[in-house]
């Protein structure tokens, strides 16, 4: 792909998966628009659009770990999508991350190397996750 590439990453700098995803985007020579969604949450309308474009359900975007998920009773499978969206709007920490928007689609990038499917540019070199796991070799190929 020639020319600038517009990528948006809904990011939490406290999350290792989110940091690794951001690193892989940058390793492709792309400086994305970084939205720290805990500081600047998406609107409900935008969140609904992102979920639809990612081809997932609100429940699939719901984060359990380190959130008020249990306290809010969100494990109840009878809750409607609207109720889950209401909870995510009230508590943005419930939105799982990183959510990446690229010209090739929208995806919840867990694990972080899932972002490679959304990058139109090749990796510029080796990349290892924070835990040392090599995911891209010196030639820029997925390991």
Specify the pLDDT at position 5.
Answer: 87
Query: What burial class does residue 114 get, using C-beta atoms within 10 Å of its C-beta: 0-12 exposed, 13-18 middle, 19+ buried?
Result: middle
Does residue 143 lie within any of the structural domains? no
Q: How many domains does the chain have?
A: 1
Q: Is residue 120 part of a domain?
A: yes
Q: What per-residue confidence (pLDDT) applies to 132?
A: 97
- Beta strand extents in 2-69 (DSSP E only): 8-11, 33-36
Catalytically active residues, by annotation: 15
User: Percent of the chain scored above 70 by pLDDT?
Assistant: 98
In a domain, 59, yes or no: yes
- The answer to whether position 130 is within a domain reads yes
Is 2 inside any structural domain?
no
- Residue 72: partners with Cβ closer than 8 Å, 6 or more residues away: 87, 91
- Residue 78 covered by a domain: yes
pLDDT digits (tens, 9 = 90+) for 8-37: 999 999 999 999 999 999 999 999 999 999
The angle that helices 44-54 and 81-90 make with each other, rounded to 10 degrees, is 120
Its pTM stands at 0.94
Burial class (CB in 10 A: 0-12, 13-18, 19+), 65: exposed
Q: Is residue 142 part of a domain?
A: no
Contact between 14 and 38 under an 8 Å Cβ cutoff? The reply is no
CATH number at residue 20: 3.40.30.10
Give the per-residue pLDDT at 3.
Answer: 61
Reported as a pLDDT band with limits 50, 70 and 90, residue 1 is: very low
Domain membership of residue 50 as a residue range: 13-136
What count of Cα atoms within 13 Å lies in the side-chain half-sphere of residue 65? 3
Task: Indicate whether 2 pLDDT > 60.
Answer: no
């Amino acid at each position: 792909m020639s020319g600038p590439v517009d990528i948006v990453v809904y990011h939490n700098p406290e999350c290792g998966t989110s940091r690794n995803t951001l690193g892989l985007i940058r390793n492709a020579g792309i400086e994305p628009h970084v939205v720290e969604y805990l500081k600047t949450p998406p609107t409900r309308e935008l969140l609904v659009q992102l979920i639809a474009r990612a081809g997932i359900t609100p429940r699939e975007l719901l984060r359990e770990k380190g959130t008020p998920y249990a306290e809010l009773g969100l494990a109840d499978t009878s809750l409607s999508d609207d109720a889950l969206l209401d909870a995510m709007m009230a508590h943005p920490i419930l939105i799982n991350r990183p959510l990446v928007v690229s010209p090739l689609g929208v995806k919840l990038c867990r694990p972080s190397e899932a972002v490679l499917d959304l990058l139109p540019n090749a990796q510029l070199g080796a990349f290892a996750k924070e835990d040392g796991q090599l995911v891209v070799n010196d030639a820029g190929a997925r390991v």
